[in-house]
């Protein structure tokens, strides 16, 4: 039986966490039900009467947001149709109290309330929330209202363009930039330069604060001050000063060198000669030979002085000489440290100089194109809240819409994101606010699972923000609770016991837990499971090849990683073939039960995928891919390259042999062997009639060639993959794994077309050179396949069976920029250059890296539900003593068992492993679900093989705005004057849409800031003229209601008028108690002198809007007006004339 006290403890903690009257901070270990707590809290808030739109739930990923939203909607839909008894029981379990009739009634209506909430409940990622916030307040944020968010691919292109521009500027005469780049070129190749710059730009929030304090020459001065280097000191000056006679005891050192020269040992003689020669040189020669001289005292590899500079016997005989030499060694160490400090100061100054130019150019590129990247969403939102004046207005508007904030995965929140959350909640706890409500903050997280330092997440921030909000809440005598969830509902007892033991000892505990001992409480007591630790695969010494031996034997089976991949695949195949039972579920194991987690993507993943496919085991592949490396995409790229250059014989042969056309080598031989001077395409054209397959391929390629120059890439390849059955052909040859790359290829085509001119050559180049990872969705509940993913990608997921094969290697030490405690960047080109403050920053970064490495192990171990296998492969390099394998082994070493892994694979091995297991004692409901042999194909039903019949449409849809298409309006005015006026009208249109949302005090500033954006290309006089015209309208008392806060912009309306369905969007709508006013902006036409000259289609459009709104408000008068934006003025329309033009 289940442990009842454990269940009660878990339920009590979850009830406290979901209490809507408290602000709560929850520490939730892995598998303790945090998603349920979040869901219960939202349901409790809704039952308390909180309107759905006043709850803001922020999640870490879109998948988490979707899961939570679906879960809430599923529960609420069930409540709407449940019996009274069932609903009473559910609500009593949720709130822990008896339920009255009013509560039941409210619960049944919650689903309707959620569905009717405009835009749905606010359950979204923080980035999505910030994007919607900036879209609502673009002028206050100082961004273009029409901004779009760049994906990683476009951001990389923008960075490359910015980098090219600054390099050109350096060549063109920017002396400071040229010198900085010359300095960096000494230390960096092109790739590392790009990597470091992109790494720095990813820290733009920190950089902006640095550049706000210092710029230009002040940058170098601040760097030199921090590195304790004089502003005039250079490597040459420091070396020259160190070579002066007055800086050393020349006579005593020369005497010691004489003793060394007369020694009988080669070491003494060699060092003595170096010292004597250097001392005999003049100043310039000494500077040149300084590095040789210092290595007589300091080791080249260690960077430390020798234990004894004289050999042991000679040092004992002449201790005073050894003392002199040791004194000189210490002096030289100080000189070397100063030289390293100078190198770091020079390199950091150069780096920041180049970065400041690159930063500025990258920001200007985004401004010109109206783009934001993902980091900008949070940074701009934070800036919006922190700027003086505008923040109060934004918070006032938001304050009307948010009463409760819920934050998921709070341990992964970075400082900028915390600042946004804190700003959102700052009005919650300001004492007795205008509305007497108990407004709450809720956060759930686990510092043991903080693994996103590359996104600047800090485990310490979780505790720091807990104290911040606790103090805010308790200061106004509101209720606060700290809740800890420790009962694990996910994993079996052996797994949790091993996790507790691993992290209850040093060094594993460092960075994972603090003082307390880690303890997970087991909910699944009595359910079978185990932790198994295989002996590591050792490398095998390879025999050398005989001279002139042909390279026809594959030797990769000797590689330890390949042997491990074969053995894991063999173990999985053994389970599936023998229908091994998963004890806790009483059914055979299926492929979807298995997850393989690696620390980083590499060759092992490819080996494992290959071995699983060889055994016909369904495998989802890896969770990320590089698009241009996928076989299915390479076939499509080859087709595109043919359409660009048919004369490329090798590429055409690739296309013809590929899955799209399926010709063989024999086919190619027919028209390739005797083609003479003709190209392969010319020969294929001549021979295409000889075989029906040749004729079909020639016809297809000829047709595509005729279209390639006239259709965009997406349309071209969509035609190839659908109408020409290319998708079906590729999947037939490459399998279902080809589907995801094909879909991403088409998505990339769409994205490419949005960014600029849609040329086929540019698109093929973009795909071929793209090195960005494409994230694949390997969430649970998709296909029944083995999943292989990184530990980072597995966050939030779980599986009955988990393999951890990548446990022996450790991450490489970062060689990039290190940040000091007060957020200042320092860069040492090499490890020896990191001294002083740079060394402190480096050591702190290394410590954080090691701590996160151990937290990543915690995440990996706790993904397993029933079975966990820890394994690994060794290399010829010595393994670290604190790698994952060693940490787990230390906890399991008392459970050693002999293991024979050759039973699963011929590549297997024997050795001593470790195993902790528990037998199944709980009764389970047996089921055959998922027990079908994995090799059998599933036959789809007949209806899936045919397209559905077309739907009958009995109602004609009328979009009033499309009536403008019938007007003879030039889309591209030929004269520059007309073009300027049309552009001017569009700018006024945008301002009139957004300005009413801006506070009166900020309108002037926001308008001028928007008009001053370089993207508009307006002179100062033009900006002032437009601003004056706009304010002459919005400040006109006659139109005060049109531009008041009570009016609404961009209002969608839909309705039935006779046999037609009207669907459109009103630019501005004023709903009064007695009258409705519709305002439509027109920016594509010069304003007529009177209403008689208004185009008839404009009038029909307004008549359609008027007809719909009259049905909504039959007791109110509906009036219409047009606002002509080219020469801003409002024209009222005759209602009787519009009546005669009504649709229907």
DSSP 418-440: HHHHHHHHTTTTSSS-SS----E
Write the DSSP symbol of residue 1070: E
Q: Are strands 122-125 and 587-588 parallel, antiparallel or unpaired?
A: unpaired
* Residue 686 sits in the same domain as residue 790: no
CB distance 50 to 507 below 8 Å: no
Give Cα separations from 575 to 115, 135, 218, 582, 784 (angstroms).
46, 53, 67, 10, 15
Tell me, yes or no, whether 517 lies in a domain: no
Instruction: Residue 1023: give its domain's CATH number.
Output: 3.90.320.10
β-pairing, 371-372 with 404-407? unpaired
Please give the pLDDT value at position 4.
Answer: 64
Residue 726's CB is within 10 A of a number of other CB atoms, namely 24
**Which residues, listed in sequence order, are joined to residue 56 by a DSSP beta bridge?**
122, 405
List, in sequence order, every beta strand (DSSP E) within 513-663: 521-522, 529-533, 581-582, 587-588, 594-598, 624-626
Rounded to 5 degrees, φ, ψ at 444 are -130, 135
Question: What are φ and ψ of residue 859, in 5° steps?
Answer: -60, -45
Residue ending a domain, among 369, 395, 420, is: 369
3-state SS string for 252-270 = HHHHHHHHHHCCCCHHHHH
Find tokens 């003049």 and name the residue. Answer: 282
Q: Are residues 1024 and 1011 in the same domain?
A: yes
User: Are 60 and 96 contacting, i.e. CB atoms less than 8 angstroms apart?
Assistant: no
Q: Which of 369, 304, 381 has its CA nearest to residue 140?
A: 381
* d(C-alpha 783, C-alpha 735), whole Å: 14
Question: Which runs of E-coded beta strand occur in 654-813?
Answer: 773-775, 787-790, 799-804
Helix (H, G, I), strand (E, B) or coil at 731: helix
- Asked whether the beta carbons of 44 and 463 are under 8 A apart, the reply is no
Q: Are residues 1005 and 1087 in the same domain?
A: yes
Distance between first and last Cα of the chain: 70
In a shared domain, residues 451 and 571 = no
Q: Quickly tell me which residue has 């009717």 as its tokens.
A: 116
Q: Which residue, 445, 452, 520, is CA-closest to 490? A: 520
The torsion defined by the Cα of 228, 234, 239 and 241, in degrees rounded to 10, comes to -80
- 80/152 same-domain check: no
Contacts of 837 (CB under 8 A, 6+ apart): 226, 227, 228, 820, 826
- The span from the CA of 438 to the CA of 123, in Å, is 21
| Cα–Cα distance list, 811 to 600, 808, 814 (Å) | 9, 10, 9
Rg of the chain, C-alpha, whole Å: 36
Buried b (16+ CB within 10 A) or exposed e, 234-264: eeeebbeebbeeeebeeebbeebbebbeebe
How would you list the strands of the sheet with 480-485, edge to edge? Answer: 122-125, 55-59, 404-407, 440-445, 23-28, 480-485
* 271 Cβ contact list (under 8 Å, min separation 6): 260, 296, 309
In total, how many domains does the chain have?
5
Domain contains 112: yes
Residue with tokens 């880690």: 518
Q: Which of 345, 369, 393 is the last residue of a domain?
A: 369
Measure the CA–CA gap between 537 and 224, rounded to whole angstroms.
Answer: 50
Query: Which pLDDT belongs to residue 390?
Result: 55
Strand partners, 825: 819
541 DSSP assignment: P
Report whether 510 contacts 903 (CB < 8 A).
no
DSSP 298: B
Both tokens of residue 383? Answer: 């800036």
Asked if 819 and 754 count as a contact pair (C-beta separation under 8 A), the reply is: no
Q: Domain check: are 188 and 127 in the same one?
A: no
Q: What is the pLDDT of residue 971?
A: 40
* Residue that the structure tokens 């109290």 belong to: 97
CA 779 to chain CA centroid, nearest Å = 16
The separation between CA 542 and the C-alpha centre of its own chain, rounded to angstroms, equals 42
Helix, strand, coil percentages (3-state) for the chain, rounded to 5, are 55, 15, 35
Query: CA separation (Å) from 544 to 547, 548, 549, 986?
Result: 9, 12, 10, 74
3-class SS string, 12-23: HHHHHHCCCCCE
Which tokens belong to 681? 């395409």
Could you tell me the two tokens for 523? 């909910």
- Can you read off the two tokens belonging to residue 375? 């980091």
Query: What is the SS3 string spanning 355-385?
Result: HHHHHHHHHHHHHHHCEECHHHHHHHHHHHH
Q: What are the φ and ψ backbone dihedral angles of 403, each rounded to 5 degrees?
A: -115, -20
Angle at 166 between CA 164 and CA 172, to 5 degrees: 105
| CATH code, domain with 870 | 3.40.50
Please check whether residues 794 and 727 belong to one and the same domain: no
Domain that holds residue 1060: 957-1140
Answer whether residue 1097 is part of any domain: yes
Pull the structure tokens for residue 650: 């090798």
Domain check: are 274 and 181 in the same one? Answer: yes
Is residue 3 helix, strand or coil?
coil
Residue 837: inside a domain: no
The verdict on 601 and 648 lying in the same domain is no
476 within 8 A of 485, measured Cβ to Cβ? no
Q: Rounded to whole angstroms, how far apart are CA atoms 53 and 115? A: 11
Q: Which tokens sit at 848?
A: 């954080």
39 lies in the same domain as 154 = no
Low-confidence ranges of the chain (pLDDT < 70): 1-4, 388-392, 398-400, 431-436, 515, 541-557, 621-624, 771-782, 925-940, 951-981, 1144
Asked whether residue 882 falls in the same domain as residue 980, the answer is no
Choosing from 755, 775, 795, the residue where a domain stops is 775
- For residue 706, count CB atoms less than 10 angstroms from its CB and return exposed for 0-12, middle for 13-18, buried for 19 or more: exposed
CATH number at residue 752: 1.10.486.10
Q: Is 256 part of a structural domain of the chain?
A: yes
What tokens does 516 get?
Answer: 């307390």
Backbone torsion region of residue 935, taken as left when φ is above 0, otherwise alpha when ψ lies between -120 and 50, otherwise beta: alpha
Cis before 555? omega within 30: no
**Digit-coded pLDDT (tens) for 587-610:** 999 999 999 999 988 889 989 988
- In Å, how far from its chain's centre is CA 553? 42
Provide the token pair at 439.
């407004």
**Of 386, 465, 382, the residue nearest 130 (C-alpha):** 382
Beta-ladder partners of 819: 825
Position 935 in a domain? no
Helix (H, G, I), strand (E, B) or coil at 1119: strand
User: Which pLDDT tens digit goes with each residue over 329-378?
Assistant: 899 999 999 999 999 999 999 999 999 999 999 999 998 888 999 889 99
Phi, psi torsion values for 34, nearest 5 degrees: -70, -35
Q: Are residues 229 and 283 in the same domain?
A: yes
Asked if residue 627 lies in contact with residue 633, where contact means CB atoms within 8 angstroms, the answer is: yes
510 within a domain of the structure (yes/no)? no
What does the H/E/C string look like for 76-100?
A: HHHHHHCCHHHHHHHHHHHHCCCCC
Task: Please state, in angstroms and rounded to a whole number, the distance separating the CA atoms of residues 960 and 983.
Answer: 23
β-pair partners for 767: none
Mapped onto helix, strand or coil, the DSSP state of residue 1124 is strand
CATH number at residue 122: 3.40.50.300
In a domain, 170, yes or no: yes
């Amino acid at each position: 039986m289940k442990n009842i006290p454990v269940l009660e403890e878990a339920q009590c903690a979850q009830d406290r966490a979901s209490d809507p009257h408290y602000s709560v901070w929850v520490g939730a270990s892995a598998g303790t039900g945090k998603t349920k707590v979040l869901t219960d809290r939202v349901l409790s808030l809704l039952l308390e009467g909180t309107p759905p739109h006043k709850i803001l739930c922020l999640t870490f990923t879109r998948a988490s947001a979707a899961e939570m939203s679906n879960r809430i909607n599923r529960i609420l839909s069930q409540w709407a149709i449940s019996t009274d008894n069932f609903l009473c029981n559910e609500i009593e379990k949720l709130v822990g109290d008896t339920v009255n009739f009013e509560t039941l009634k409210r619960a049944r209506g919650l689903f309707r309330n959620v569905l009717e909430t405009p835009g749905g409940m606010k359950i979204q990622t923080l980035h999505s929330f910030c994007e919607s916030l900036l879209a609502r307040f673009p002028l206050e944020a100082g961004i273009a209202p029409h901004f779009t968010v760049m994906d990683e691919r476009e951001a990389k292109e923008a960075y490359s363009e910015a980098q090219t521009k600054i390099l050109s500027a350096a060549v063109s005469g920017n002396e400071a930039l040229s010198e900085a780049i010359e300095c960096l070129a000494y230390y960096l190749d092109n790739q590392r330069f790009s990597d470091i710059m992109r790494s720095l730009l990813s820290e733009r929030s920190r950089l902006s604060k640095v550049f706000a304090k210092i710029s230009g020459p002040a940058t170098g001065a601040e760097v030199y001050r921090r590195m304790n280097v004089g502003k005039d000191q250079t490597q040459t000056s420091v070396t020259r000063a160190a070579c002066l006679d007055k800086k050393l005891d020349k006579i005593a050192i020369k005497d010691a060198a004489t003793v060394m020269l007369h020694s009988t040992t080669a070491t003494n003689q060699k060092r003595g000669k170096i010292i004597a020669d250097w001392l005999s040189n003049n100043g310039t020669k000494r500077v040149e030979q300084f590095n040789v001289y210092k290595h007589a005292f300091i080791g080249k590899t260690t960077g430390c002085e020798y234990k004894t500079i004289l050999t042991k016997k000679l040092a004992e005989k002449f201790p005073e000489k050894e003392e002199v030499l040791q004194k000189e060694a210490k002096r030289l160490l100080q000189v070397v440290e100063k030289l390293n400090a100078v190198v770091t100061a020079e390199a950091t100054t150069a780096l920041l100089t180049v970065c400041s130019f690159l930063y500025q150019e990258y920001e200007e590129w985004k401004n010109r194109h109206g783009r934001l990247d993902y980091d900008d969403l949070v940074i701009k939102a934070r800036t919006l809240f922190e700027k003086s004046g505008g923040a109060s207005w934004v918070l006032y508007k938001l304050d009307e819409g948010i009463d409760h904030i819920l934050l998921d995965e709070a341990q992964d929140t970075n400082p900028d994101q915390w600042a946004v959350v804190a700003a959102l909640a700052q009005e919650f706890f300001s004492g007795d606010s205008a509305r007497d409500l108990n407004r709450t903050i809720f956060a759930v997280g686990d510092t043991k699972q903080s693994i996103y330092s590359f996104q600047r997440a800090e485990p310490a921030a979780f505790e720091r923000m807990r104290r911040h909000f606790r103090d805010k809440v308790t200061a106004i005598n509101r209720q606060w609770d700290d809740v800890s969830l420790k009962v694990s509902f996910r994993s079996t007892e052996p797994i949790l016991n091993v996790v507790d033991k691993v992290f209850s000892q040093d060094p594993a505990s460092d960075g994972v837990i603090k003082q307390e001992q880690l303890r997970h409480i087991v909910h699944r007591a009595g359910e079978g499971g185990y932790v198994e630790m295989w002996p590591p695969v050792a490398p095998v010494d390879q025999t050398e090849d005989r001279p002139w031996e042909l390279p026809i034997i594959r030797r990769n089976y000797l590689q330890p990683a390949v042997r491990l991949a074969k053995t894991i695949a063999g173990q999985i195949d053994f389970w599936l073939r023998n229908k091994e039972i998963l004890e806790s579920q009483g059914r055979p194991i299926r492929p979807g039960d298995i997850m393989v987690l690696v620390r980083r993507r590499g060759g092992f993943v490819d080996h494992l995928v290959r071995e699983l496919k060889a055994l016909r085991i369904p495998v989802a592949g890896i969770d990320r891919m590089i698009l241009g490396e996928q076989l299915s995409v390479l076939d499509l790229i080859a087709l595109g390259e043919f359409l660009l250059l048919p004369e490329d014989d090798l590429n055409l042969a690739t296309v013809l042999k590929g899955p799209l056309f399926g010709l063989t080598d024999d086919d190619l031989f027919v028209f390739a062997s005797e083609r003479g001077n003709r190209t392969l395409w010319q020969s294929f054209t001549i021979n295409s009639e000889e075989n029906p397959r040749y004729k079909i391929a020639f016809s297809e390629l000829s047709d595509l060639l005729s279209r390639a120059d006239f259709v965009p890439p997406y349309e071209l390849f969509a035609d190839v993959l659908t109408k020409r059955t290319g998708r079906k052909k590729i999947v037939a040859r490459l399998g279902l794994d080809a589907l995801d790359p094909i879909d991403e290829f088409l998505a990339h085509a769409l994205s490419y077309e949005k960014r600029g001119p849609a040329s086929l050559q540019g698109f093929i180049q973009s795909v071929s050179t793209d090195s960005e990872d494409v994230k694949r969705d390997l969430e649970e509940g998709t296909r029944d396949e083995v999943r292989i993913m990184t530990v980072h990608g597995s966050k939030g997921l779980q599986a009955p069976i988990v393999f951890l094969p990548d446990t022996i290697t450790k991450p490489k030490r970062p060689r990039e920029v290190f940040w000091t405690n007060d957020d200042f960047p320092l860069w040492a080109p090499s490890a020896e250059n990191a001294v002083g403050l740079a060394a402190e920053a480096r050591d702190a970064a290394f410590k954080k890296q090691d701590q996160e490495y151990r937290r990543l192990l915690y995440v990996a171990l706790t993904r397993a539900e029933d079975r966990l296998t820890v394994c690994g492969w060794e290399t010829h390099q010595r393994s670290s003593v604190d790698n994952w394998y060693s940490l787990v082994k230390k906890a399991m070493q008392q459970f050693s068992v002999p293991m024979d892994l050759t039973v699963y694979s011929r590549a297997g091995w024997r050795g001593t492993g470790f195993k902790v297991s528990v037998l199944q004692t709980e009764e389970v409901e047996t089921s055959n679900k998922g027990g079908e042999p994995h090799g059998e194909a599933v036959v789809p039903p007949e209806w899936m093989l045919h397209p559905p019949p077309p739907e009958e449409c009995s109602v004609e849809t009328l979009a009033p705005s499309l009536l403008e298409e019938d007007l003879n309006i030039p889309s591209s005015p030929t004269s520059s004057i007309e073009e300027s006026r049309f552009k001017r009208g569009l700018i006024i249109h945008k301002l009139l849409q957004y300005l009413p949302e801006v506070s009166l005090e900020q309108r002037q500033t926001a308008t001028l800031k928007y008009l001053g954006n370089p993207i508009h290309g307006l002179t100062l006089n033009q900006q002032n003229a437009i601003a004056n015209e706009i304010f002459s309208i919005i400040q006109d008392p006659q139109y005060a209601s049109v531009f008041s806060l009570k009016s609404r912009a961009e209002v969608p309306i839909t309705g039935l008028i006779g046999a037609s369905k009207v669907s459109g969007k009103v630019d501005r709508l004023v709903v009064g108690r007695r009258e409705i006013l519709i305002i439509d902006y027109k920016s594509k036409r010069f304003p007529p002198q009177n209403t008689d000259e208004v185009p008839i289609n404009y009038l029909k459009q307004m008549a359609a809007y008027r007809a719909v709104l009259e049905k909504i408000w039959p007791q109110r008068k509906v009036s219409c007006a047009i606002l002509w934006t080219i020469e801003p003025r409002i024209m009222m329309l005759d209602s009787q004339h519009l009546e005669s033009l009504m649709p229907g």
